[in-house]
Structure 1
Amino acid sequence: MNNKEVYAAIAMALHEHLGNNVHDVEPGIITIAQHPTQWNGYAQTMTAHP
């Protein structure tokens, strides 16, 4: 391995480490919205027996 390859590997590692390898910028916000289905419907729930 010659010096040019070492310098190229270091440059690529720094490039990726600094976050330049992402395709799109995400805001970091997760939105969880309730989605009614047959699995979480009120009529489908079971009541506990005393």
Structure 2
Amino acid sequence: MKQDKEVFAAISLALHEFMGNNVHDQESGKITIIEHFTEWNGHALTMTGQPKP
């Protein structure tokens, strides 16, 4: 009997998620990339080539 209850619980949870009740927030579907300057990508801090003699 316990296994039947677990099956029913799994089916009801799957139906709950399938009906769209698992979305936490609405996304616009757009990807925005904003460049952030940090010490990892700063051009002033990058290594320079060895000077020519």
* Pairwise TM-score range, normalised by the shorter structure: 0.5 to 0.7
Using the size of structure 1 for normalisation, the TM-score is 0.53
Aligned-residue Cα RMSD (Å) equals: 2.6
Using the size of structure 2 for normalisation, the TM-score is 0.52
SS of the residue 2:17 aligns to:
helix
Q: How many pairs align?
A: 47
Find out whether 1:25 has 2:26 as its counterpart. yes
Structure 1 unmatched ranges of 5 or more: none
Structure 2 unmatched ranges of 5 or more: none
Distance 1:9 1:35 in 2: 44
